[in-house]
């Protein structure tokens, strides 16, 4: 294939809760989590504010004597009819600083697709996220949020729940194909077995707290292992293997990739139909360099026509020419007649 084009949707920035989200409450008040919000902007995603059913929280506290401890270590927080809940409850302490980081969906155990390793055992806001897209089958969204708060010297009224704004950490990708043949609708295409064969299988993100004592932690750019870190993402068939008529387009479903700038190898098969007859299947490949960015949705587009569909190269149009026109010839067996005695007859 000669060319692949790509287009990207919008990305949004991470937000954190303000320090005044924690107000006064009697000592011993339980720490709560409010309705988590997923910034969606102009893109759609598998996890949104409506279907975010759970997330895992890491949280640490620093007291007035600068002593620090971990109060949440991948605590599962679950959405219920009354809001987000967890157990057992932890409680706000006056005059303390709190840092929280959260990941969705909640994962734990040997089959977990993500893990978080705090840099220091008692601090939540500094650490490393590892995400395994091979385990996820490239079919799982992954979200991150962070916030920091301080409690006043005296807590006399209820503190607000910890508010998270989640952001998508992966890139969302689909591939679209257009039938570019000019054949008066006589040639139709079926695109199937679409793959991107060398996406990143495992990536890491560093989480670090900003210099401000009350600022939320942020996640740095993804890093991936340079070698032996290739994942074949199977996108499957375009529009359930429907035939694409002239100027018709179809797309695969979306899958998720770890953001990385690479030259990606795309492979797919094309069935070519002419007048309803399956004439051939072509095995095609293409390379495209994309700097995938987290939180962005990509549509990699290609137009298939007579120059790039066949494995052999150019498909040539059926043409017509005239090599001659037969001349009239006298028939030698034609009988001779005496036309001199022919009389004209006039009808009254």
Write a three-state SS string for 235-268: EECHHHHCCECCCCEEECCCEEECCCEEEEEEEE
Q: State residue 313's pLDDT score.
A: 83
Sign of CA dihedral 268, 273, 277, 279: negative
Q: Is residue 347 part of a domain?
A: no
Residues 85 and 129 in one domain: yes
Residues 119 and 133 in one domain: yes
Residues 124 and 181 in one domain: no
Q: Is residue 323 part of a domain?
A: no
Q: State residue 282's pLDDT score.
A: 95
Rounded Cα gap, residues 263 and 273, in angstroms: 32
Residues 30 and 92 in one domain: yes
Residues 165 and 259 in one domain: no
Q: Is residue 315 part of a domain?
A: no
Q: State residue 341's pLDDT score.
A: 64
Using left for φ > 0, alpha for ψ between -120 and 50, and beta otherwise, residue 42 falls in: alpha
Residues 116 and 262 in one domain: no
Residues 53 and 23 in one domain: yes
Provide the CATH number for the domain around residue 104.
2.60.40
Q: Is residue 345 part of a domain?
A: no
Q: Is residue 311 part of a domain?
A: no
Provide the CATH number for the domain around residue 187.
2.60.40.3740
Which pTM does this prediction carry? 0.81
Beta bridge partners of 250: 177
Alpha helices by DSSP H, listed for the chain, are 133-136
Enclosing domain of residue 68: 11-169+202-219
Q: State residue 234's pLDDT score.
A: 96
Q: Is residue 333 part of a domain?
A: no
Residues 165 and 20 in one domain: yes
Using left for φ > 0, alpha for ψ between -120 and 50, and beta otherwise, residue 208 falls in: beta
Q: State residue 37's pLDDT score.
A: 63
Q: State residue 265's pLDDT score.
A: 93
Residues 20 and 151 in one domain: yes
- 222 near 259, Cβ under 8 Å? yes
Question: What domain count does the chain have?
Answer: 2
Question: How many other CB atoms are there within 10 angstroms of residue 321's CB atom?
Answer: 4
Residues 145 and 20 in one domain: yes
User: Which of 271, 286, 304 is the C-terminal boundary of a domain?
Assistant: 304
- Per residue of the chain (348 residues), what is the pLDDT tens digit? 333 333 322 212 222 222 223 222 334 566 665 656 655 443 344 898 889 999 999 999 999 888 999 999 999 999 999 899 999 999 999 999 999 999 999 999 999 999 999 988 788 888 999 999 999 999 999 999 999 999 999 998 888 999 999 999 999 999 999 999 988 889 999 999 999 999 999 999 998 876 665 677 888 888 876 666 899 999 999 976 678 998 999 999 999 999 999 899 999 999 999 999 999 999 999 989 999 999 999 999 999 999 999 888 888 888 999 999 999 888 777 766 666 666 666 666
Residues 116 and 233 in one domain: no
Q: Is residue 151 part of a domain?
A: yes
Q: State residue 235's pLDDT score.
A: 95
Q: Is residue 270 part of a domain?
A: yes
Residues 92 and 206 in one domain: yes
Q: State residue 220's pLDDT score.
A: 81
Count Cβ neighbours within 10 Å for each residue of 145-171 and write b for 16 or more, e otherwise: bbbbbebbeebeeebebbbbbbbbbbb
Q: State residue 61's pLDDT score.
A: 94
Supply φ then ψ for residue 25, to 5 degrees: -160, 155
């Amino acid at each position: 294939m000669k060319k692949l084009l790509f287009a990207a949707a919008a990305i949004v920035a991470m937000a954190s809760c303000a320090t005044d989200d924690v107000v006064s409450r009697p000592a011993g008040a339980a720490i709560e989590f409010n309705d988590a919000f997923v910034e969606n902007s102009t893109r759609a995603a598998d996890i949104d504010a409506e279907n975010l059913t759970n997330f895992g929280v890491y949280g640490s506290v620093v007291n007035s004597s600068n002593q620090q401890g971990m109060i949440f270590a991948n605590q599962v927080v679950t959405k219920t009819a009354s809001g987000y809940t967890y157990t057992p409850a932890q409680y706000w302490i006056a005059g303390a600083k709190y840092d929280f980081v959260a990941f969705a969906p909640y994962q734990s155990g040997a089959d977990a697709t993500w893990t978080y390793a705090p840099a220091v055992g008692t601090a939540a806001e500094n650490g490393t996220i590892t995400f395994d897209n091979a385990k996820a089958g490239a079919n799982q969204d992954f979200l991150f949020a962070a916030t920091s708060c301080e409690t006043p010297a005296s807590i006399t009224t209820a503190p607000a729940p910890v508010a998270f704004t989640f952001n998508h950490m992966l890139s969302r990708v689909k591939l679209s194909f257009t039938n570019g043949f000019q054949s008066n609708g006589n040639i139709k295409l079926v695109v199937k077995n679409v793959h991107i064969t060398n996406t990143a299988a495992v990536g890491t993100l560093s989480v670090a707290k900003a210099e401000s004592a009350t600022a939320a932690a942020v996640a740095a750019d993804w890093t991936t292992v340079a070698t032996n870190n290739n994942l074949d993402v199977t996108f499957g068939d375009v529009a359930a293997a429907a035939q694409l008529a002239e100027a018709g387009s179809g797309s695969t479903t979306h899958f998720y990739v770890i953001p990385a700038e690479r030259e990606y190898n795309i492979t797919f098969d094309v069935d070519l139909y002419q007048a309803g007859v399956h004439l051939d299947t072509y095995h095609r490949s293409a390379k495209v360099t994309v700097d995938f960015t987290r939180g962005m949705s990509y549509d990699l587009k290609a137009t298939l026509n007579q120059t790039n569909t066949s494995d052999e190269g150019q498909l040539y149009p059926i043409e017509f020419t005239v090599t001659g026109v037969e001349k009239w010839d006298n028939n030698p067996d034609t009988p001779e007649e005496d036309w001199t005695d022919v009389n004209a007859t006039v009808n009254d």
